[in-house]
Each structure stands twice: as C-alpha cells, then as structure tokens.
Structure 1
C-alpha cells in the first residue's frame, strides 16, 4: 500500500494555501484541506486516460496536450 502523508507543518501550509488561493471556491478549498489532513492513497489513484474513458471523453490527440 502506498500512501502520501503530510507532516503537521505541511498540513498547515496546505490548509493556509487552500484558503488563500481559493476564497471564492470553498468546495475546492475543502477538498485540498481534506487531502492535507488525510493524505493520498496512491494505490487508488487513476490514470488520466482511464478517467477520460470513464467520463466518455474522446481520446487524447497530440494537439490536446498543448491545451490547458
């Protein structure tokens, strides 16, 4: 099992950054604060291409990497 866990100083910094960077989007700030508190289970992370297929998005083309 692979987990990314943040120490207390990192958690505090991530929470402060989430609040400062996303004052108009409390839902996004909440998600980032939650990640800081609970860490990330890397075994449950999914590949971008898998997410695209799951959501019914078209396959990536060479040009699509230039967008974003």
Structure 2
C-alpha cells in the first residue's frame, strides 16, 4: 500500500495554510486539514482522465500537456 503521510510540523503548516488561504471556503479548508492529518492513500487515487469521463467531460486532446 502506498501512502503519503505528513510529519507533525508539516501537518501543522498545512492546517495553518488551509485556514489562512481559504477563510471563505470552510469546506475546502476542512478537506485540506483532513488530508494533512490522515495522509493520502495513493492506491485509491484515480487518474484525471478517468475522472473526466466519469463526469461526462470530453476526453483530453492528445496535444494537451500532461501538467498544468
């Protein structure tokens, strides 16, 4: 199982950043704080192209870059 976990200092910094950067969006701050405390299970992450198809969006053009 691949899992990304954050050290206690990293968790604190992520929580502070979530609260300061998203004061108008408590739901987003909550999600970021949860990620900081629980980590990320990389085995359950889905591919961006799969998410696009699931939401009914068109497939990404072949010439589109892989990163933003």
TM norm structure 2: 0.89
Superposed displacement of residue 60, structure 1: 1.0
Aligned residues: 65
Instruction: Tell me whether 1:4 sits opposite 2:4 in the alignment.
Output: yes
Pick the structure with more helix per residue. Answer: 1
Q: What stretches of structure 1 of length at least 5 have no aligned partner?
A: none
Runs of 4+ residues over 3 Å off in structure 1: none
Map of 1:34 onto structure 2: 34
Q: What stretches of structure 2 of length at least 5 have no aligned partner?
A: none
TM norm structure 1: 0.89
**Cα RMSD (Å) of the superposition?**
1.3
